[in-house]
Structure 1
């Protein structure tokens, strides 16, 4: 009777890869959050020695574990919620976890600080799922809101081979952290700028060229607000050109990149806004934004991007995303003036903020979102939004015509 070991090795490896991939061992918790449980898959380790050795090699190739150590007990909650990083293990379970390839130790330096004697808190994340990159991005955004944060922090990146001859799980063969893997592990930390101290250590020697490149990038300053705004404007213009050319999906990609340039992350229907404090300054450098308040210029760009993104979705007949994109901004505007985010005002004149810095673009958002509702025959919602659009854009004949098309008819 044939058994599993009768299969060709390459087919067994495909099965191991499917069972041991991090993506096969997680469950969705909502938004971008996941929980991991390898227990069912790691039953492979207990079947027999040959399967154990074969599957363990695949497991190691597919799962690179990173240990984060910090004095701040709430760090894991912050990176999980703000950075959307999935935590595999946390203290005390993470304290003795033996399979981390990269150990990230963040030390604080405040003279006479209580942190001098506080213990470390540890948590484990996965590299392959993008969580290390998200962790570093979360750190980057924290430094935007707290400009002096990194000047009080030092970082030790320690490379470990968890499968050396002296480890609990030895594995013979080629070095398990080659140059490419080292580069991939160190690359995300280029987002972390101007630390008090930085070093690379561990029982695996890092390639000097990689350390030098990382050190050079980390010493650079953060892009100032005006550079972010200029880059976002360039990407918005590229998006507009794609929109005009009928390349609607490409236009949306450019618009999302423009959002990203001003620290707004668009991920499907999810949006996260970072760096408000970073843009709370008047621009003094020469350029198109000189003399402007960076926060105000950012708002104008964001509103224009929303209006144009809705138009691109309308062109694609993707009315669901057009409505979602428009209503997200409309709800924020309603809440800011004390209105119910879903109902708005009964009088459109009370809802329209005609003195708003980007009132014309807001009118387009109301109009285009209303047209998306009209396209799915939700005339009541369309009528409510188009009435507000007509206040924002009183001289636009198209708005008036479309409003008339959804007006209540008296029998």
Structure 2
């Protein structure tokens, strides 16, 4: 009579197989999600549930989890820093109140030594090491927006080895040190920067970070030129899309490629696009008169504004070609409202077309295209009245014969239908 096979359970599997299972559950990508506004969040509950099954699985999973996930604890006296990083830089918080967390490999201390306040409660929170690059990038943009910020700030880093026994000398591999230290090379002009603690950083890594911190910023002219270059690549992709009339997939791929180039062009002039979120940085950086060709004697702010409007107009066109009228309408109306607000026109107040058209605007032709393409999007969304209003303004911005014919053609689609 055959003997029944012994019952199998997870712990009867070979250790290598169990480790693969832990890896699939504990890797950061499994705990990371992105919401509809493009913001990142973490939910480690499924992974951490392994720790509560039994002692053996706890010990095995714990080792794998912390080999795949590295954390940093941020300590600063400014209560709003966490919210700022989350909103401006898409840096999700892993633990909001992280003072008791001890499994971090890095301490990030940010303070202003000239303005010490011993009585102020410190903000202490935990972030994932994968997001340190975002922190460095956000801080870099903040320095360009507020030139007086970094000369008052001190950055103190401490490398930690929380997993070795107390009697062993703390150790951190060079690759891990690079991951934790290199993001801070983007933070320039600090009053003080130091690495403290029992783990001595590799001299070459620390020297590289300090060298990056004193690198000169690219000139405003080079940023504008890079934006122009990327915008041109986006325009080329749009043109390629129109050639693929018999291949819808290639056509859509070309239009999406154009949008990717436009997003990179925004970034070149320090404007971050994330889904429907747009964050404009470094206004102080552009508050100057340019000195080098092809921009000599021109206003950096005006050149940047012109590029911004051109990018919006081209973005609207790309979305129209993708038949995403709502997206084209969103980006067009956002820019139109921003311009109206700049001229002191409250939202909802209707002006005559002659009043709404800022005829002295240097980017008037580009703004006319924004109005025109937004009108087309509104018409495709069934909003005829709004489309007519926008077309009336576009007519003033775009007096050329060809533009007028194109506007009149769209106006015919806006006409009131009788019967």
Common fold, TM-score beyond 0.5? yes
The partner residue of 2:66 within 60, 65, 84 is 60
**What is the RMSD computed on CA atoms of the aligned residues?**
2.8
1: distance between equivalents of 2:32 and 2:260?
Answer: 28
Residues 119/406 of structure 1: CA separation in 2 closer, same or farther (3 Å cut)? closer
Matched, 1:180 2:186: no
Structure 2: 5+ residue stretches without partners: 1-6, 242-253
Structure 1: 5+ residue stretches without partners: none
Partners of 1:334 and 1:344 within 8 A in 2: no
1: distance between equivalents of 2:88 and 2:258?
Answer: 28
Matched, 1:203 2:198: yes
Residues 15/373 of structure 1: CA separation in 2 closer, same or farther (3 Å cut)? farther
The residue that corresponds to 1:277 in the other structure is 284
The residue that corresponds to 1:109 in the other structure is 113
1: distance between equivalents of 2:267 and 2:140?
Answer: 13
The residue that corresponds to 1:265 in the other structure is 272
The residue that corresponds to 1:406 in the other structure is 414
With normalisation by structure 2, the TM-score equals 0.85
2: distance between equivalents of 1:30 and 1:321?
Answer: 14
2: distance between equivalents of 1:116 and 1:286?
Answer: 48
Matched, 1:212 2:210: no
The partner residue of 1:382 within 382, 387, 404 is 387
The residue that corresponds to 2:323 in the other structure is 317
**Shift of the alpha carbon at 1:387?**
2.2
After TM superposition, the structure 1 = structure 2 runs for residues 1-12 of structure 1, keeping only pairs within 5 Å, are 1-12=7-18
**Shift of the alpha carbon at 1:337?**
3.4
After TM superposition, the structure 1 = structure 2 runs for residues 111-130 of structure 1, keeping only pairs within 5 Å, are 113-115=115-117, 120-128=122-130, 130=131
2: distance between equivalents of 1:9 and 1:203?
Answer: 34
Partners of 1:235 and 1:258 within 8 A in 2: yes
Matched, 1:20 2:15: no
With normalisation by structure 1, the TM-score equals 0.87
Matched, 1:253 2:260: yes
**Shift of the alpha carbon at 1:304?**
0.6
**Shift of the alpha carbon at 1:338?**
4.3
2: distance between equivalents of 1:237 and 1:59?
Answer: 45
SS at match of 1:89: coil
2: distance between equivalents of 1:309 and 1:46?
Answer: 50
1: distance between equivalents of 2:60 and 2:382?
Answer: 58
After TM superposition, the structure 1 = structure 2 runs for residues 31-46 of structure 1, keeping only pairs within 5 Å, are 31-33=37-39, 36=42, 38-39=44-45, 41-46=47-52
Partners of 2:146 and 2:282 within 8 A in 1: no
**Shift of the alpha carbon at 1:233?**
1.6
**Shift of the alpha carbon at 1:80?**
2.8
The partner residue of 2:189 within 178, 181, 194 is 194
2: distance between equivalents of 1:375 and 1:388?
Answer: 18
CA offset digits 1:154-177 (Å, max 9, x no partner): 22222112211129xx9x9xx974
How many pairs were matched up? 398
**Shift of the alpha carbon at 1:324?**
1.9
SS at match of 2:360: coil
